[in-house]
Every structure is written in C-alpha cells, then in structure tokens.
Chains A and B, each alone.
Chain A
C-alpha cells in the first residue's frame, strides 16, 4: 500500500540524481578512482527497496558501499537488517585508511518509532517527505565527510531538493 504512494511521488523508479558540481570534470572524477570525489559534489541516490529486495546481505552491503564511495548519499526506502548494519560498519572500517579521503559513514535509520536526532535532524523531514512520502522508515547512509558538510550547512540539501 505504502509502496504505491512512493512510486507516484518518486515519478521514476530507480536512481534519482540531484547533483551540483563544482567544476569537477568527468575526467578528474574517473582519475580519482580510489579516493573520494570532491566534497562539493553532492549527489543523492534514492534507492527503492526493490533495488535490494532480492539481494543477500553481502550483495546489499557491497552495493551500498559502492554508491557511498562515489560520494553519494543514499536514501533507502525501508530499513536494513541488524546484521547488515553491522556488516556495513565492518566494511567501512576496512576501507578507512585504504581509500584516500574516506573516513567512514554516517547512517541513520529513521522511523516513526525512533526519533533519531543524531544527524540530518533539520533536513530529514523534508528529504523524507519529498522523496519517499510519509513512509514508515527510511535509512540515510552517506560518507562521513559529506554528511559533515551537510550538517554544517543543511540548506544545501534543501536547496537542491527544492530545485528538482
């Protein structure tokens, strides 16, 4: 039932890109393979649950980390399982020090039942509404460096979303 609402709101299924770039050419981006792309390059990847529904834990974590390493913030419709959360942390820890500029992730599962106010607080309601409607739960996962930027300047995301 909730799913239908989401599809309507999201318009197109799959990846939703909202990108602002600060003159980072695509050449530069491909060159910097094992390091994160520029901080100002903020992209949001909307992930409908269907995108990972049929994957096992390992594949899910791999998919998520792949996107995070491209310096994108994932907004996942729904929740990860607890063991996937743990795996995601383990994976992030393995990558710190091996991927230049990568300092781990920020992850927040937001739902009606818990009031996770640790991050994105001022923006999350807006993001949630725009992207997934009044969905039960969403999970926001992003590279720590990027999330730090946002929490410093929450308007950035709101502006982005307003422009879409």
Chain B
C-alpha cells in the first residue's frame, strides 16, 4: 500500500519537476548473459555504432560503458536513453578459469583483478539507474544468487525492471524456466545476437519506461 502511494507520488513529482528527459537504462546480469550484445544492438539500431566489446570469455566488460543520447522512436513517441552497460556480476572469480580460454597466468590474474573492481562498480551504480534490463542467459539455470541479489536490490530501490531471457536461438534455451523463476516480472525472450524477437523487446522497453 505504502509502495503504491510512494510510486504514485514519485510519478506525479517526476512529472512536475523532471522533464522526462534522458532515461538512464542499465544492463545488469551475470557475466556472458549478453548485456553488451543487446546494448550494442540498440546502439546500432538507433545510432549506428557499437557501445562495447563482446566476447565468449566471461568478464569482457570490466568497466561501466556508456552511450548517451540514444533516441528511440515508437508510435510517434521519442525517448532519449543513456545506455549504461555494466560488468557482469559474480560472487566468485577464479583467474584459472581465464587460463582455460588461453590467457597466460599474468594476463588471467590481471583480468580477474579488473573483473573484481568491475563488479564493485556495477553494484555502486545500481543507485543511479532509472530503469534496468536484467539479462538472463536462458540456456542456464536462472535461479542464481546473482540474479536474485540484483533483482532484490532493484526492487528495494523501486527501480523498474524488465527481465530479458537471452539466447533463445539456442536449443537449450528455456524461457519458461526463466518465467517460472521470476513470476513477478515481465520476461521477454530474445536473441541479442541474432535479433530474434527484438520488436517485442522494444515494445516492452517502452512499457518499462512508463513506470519510470
């Protein structure tokens, strides 16, 4: 009840005081979920340029990456976004895992160090978001503590969330399981890489923005 009133008040005040300018849209999730792939796709679709680098080696994004003034248009409505791609959050980092991808020990240790700092950054930035896309790799178990902690912290801050179940192009993908894990959230299944279902994603994104 209090939450409803608070949300209501928030909406009224933001309507009055904040000209609904730029929306700070965060991309959160586990390493390798496809956050940068989706951020790049949006940035490419509307700006024609990439935002960050994508890799099959986890913890590719180790610093916050920002793309400003990304204007999306839908049904005659224009919304300006600031896309904020964050380093994948994990509870553990073992540099030896990077060596399996062919990195030398030193390089692997450096990557691990940067990755730990990246995660601290990601968590700090939670406070600054207007809305967040929580990216979940739909080919792996969605009941991970990282997903639970991220969603819990966003809920505690009253930040609107859209859950994206990514990699639906893969055989192992299971959107149902993602929906089952987080029944209280809107879940849209896409392939950030191949572009499947991106239209529906944009539709959900515009709905999400209404909650800001």
Query: Hey, which bits of chain A sit against chain B, CB under 8 A?
Result: 82-83, 85-86, 89-90, 92-94, 96-97, 103-109, 114-118, 144
Contacts and interface: CB of A to CB of B under 8 A. Distances in A.
A103 B94 contact: yes
Interface in B63-104: 89-94
Contact of A104 (B91, B123, B181): B91
B119 A89 contact: yes
Contacts of A108: 145
B116 A97 contact: yes
26 contacts: A83-B156, A85-B145, A85-B149, A86-B126, A86-B153, A89-B123, A90-B119, A93-B93, A96-B112, A96-B113, A97-B109, A103-B94, A104-B91, A104-B93, A105-B92, A106-B91, A106-B92, A114-B143, A114-B181, A116-B143, A117-B141, A118-B141, A118-B143, A118-B145, A144-B91, A144-B94
Chain B interface, DSSP helix/strand/loop, else mixed: helix
A145 to B, nearest CB: 8
Contacts, number: 77
Nearest to B152: A82
Contacts of B144: 116, 118
Given A82-B155, A86-B153, A118-B144, A96 B120 contact: no
A117 B147 CA distance: 13
B142 to A, nearest CB: 9
A42 B153 CA distance: 32
Contacts of A92: 91-92
B44 interface: no
Nearest to A143: B92
A109 B151 CA distance: 14
A65 to B, nearest CB: 12
Q: Which of B92, B117, B123 has the most CB of A within 10 A?
A: B92
A96 B116 CA distance: 7
Contacts of A97: 109, 112-113, 116
B149 A89 contact: yes
A86 B123 contact: yes
Given A83-B153, A118-B144, 16 more contacts: A93-B116, A94-B116, A96-B112, A97-B116, A103-B94, A104-B93, A105-B91, A106-B92, A106-B145, A107-B91, A114-B148, A116-B143, A116-B148, A117-B143, A118-B145, A144-B91
